[in-house]
Amino acid sequence: MSAPAGPRADEGRRAASIDVAFTAAEIRPARVAVVIDVLRATSTIVMALGAGYRRVLCTATPEEARGLREPGRLLAGERHCRPIEGFDYGNSPRAFDEARGEDLVLCTTNGTPAILSALSAAEEVLIGSLLNLEALVERIPTGEDVIIVCAGTGGRFALEDAYAAGRIVARLEGSWTDAARAAERLANSYGDTYEPLAQSADAAVLRETDQTADIEFCAQESISALVPKITPAGSQIAVASVGLDAEEARAGVGGVLEGEEAVNR
């Protein structure tokens, strides 16, 4: 037989849609979602996995994070850029030069809720940042509908996330939505990665809270080859990991899993 049209022939007839949600409210269904919270949650996830944590368990609230505490797990996070009482780390990616346990539990104001929202819109959810930009764009499958989800700030547009989204869009072939086109043009208007981060409202808060060094850190481009993938583990926990299958990613995460662990997705 001469090579017949494969199972994707129909999909191939229209260009894949490349979309950007500047806020979580704009998330639309797609095959692949990339979640971005440059300052700082997704930058922190990339660095934590690079430091040796096997998994990052993402929760929407500090209470859920505390409920996951057990031996071998460290807690990290912030509320409005400030540390959370009783947690082992804040949300600075600079803190992760070595792993002090197997799992990191992470709870942040905008980033981890955006990750949980993305799970309801896409089959495959990846973690993006400037730190892993090159590896990320290599990893995004071609010919698939992609939505880049900006965490934003309190439901509002965040400049640094839109900039990173535009950098990714620029590398993806397909049919760009209006938002994708605008993000690409925005990114193209900057000559370096630092300026858009430094101009953002989130950077102003970091400066006010003596965490200025995080801005420059998160502006580093492609210093990591890791592309974390998200696996749901119960309705309110998302597991970020690299190289684990879904069963490994969600194994023994916590009580909410009972009854679901047996399901082999």
What is the chain's Cα-based Rg? 18
Q: Contact region for a second copy (CB under 8 A) — 198-206, 213-221, 241-249, 251-259?
A: 198-206
Q: CB of residue 21 vs a second copy: minimum separation in angstroms?
A: 9
Sheet strands (E) in 108-247: 122-128, 146-150, 175-176, 229-232, 237-241
14 contributes a contact to a second copy by CB under 8 A:
no
| Total residue length of the chain | 265
Helix (H, G, I), strand (E, B) or coil at 111: helix
In the structure encoding, which two tokens stand for residue 256, read together? 């909410």
Q: In what helix (H) or strand (E) does residue 36 lie, and over which residues does it extend?
A: strand 30-36
Under the binding rule (CB under 8 A), the answer on residue 189 touching a second copy is yes
- Stretches 37-45, 92-100, 184-192, 240-248: which one binds a second copy (CB under 8 A)? 184-192
31-70 residues in contact with a second copy (CB under 8 A) are none
Residue number with CB closer to a second copy (120 or 235): 120
Question: Residue 52 region, left (φ>0) first, then alpha (ψ -120 to 50), else beta?
Answer: left
Cα 252 to chain centroid, rounded: 22
Q: Considering the rule CB under 8 A, would residue 178 count as an interface residue with a second copy?
A: yes
Residues from 142 through 171 that contact a second copy (CB under 8 A): 153, 155-159, 162
Number of residues that bind a second copy (CB under 8 A): 25
Q: Which parts of this chain interact with a second copy (CB under 8 A)? A: 20, 22-23, 25-26, 28, 153, 155-159, 162, 177-179, 181-182, 185-186, 188-189, 199-201
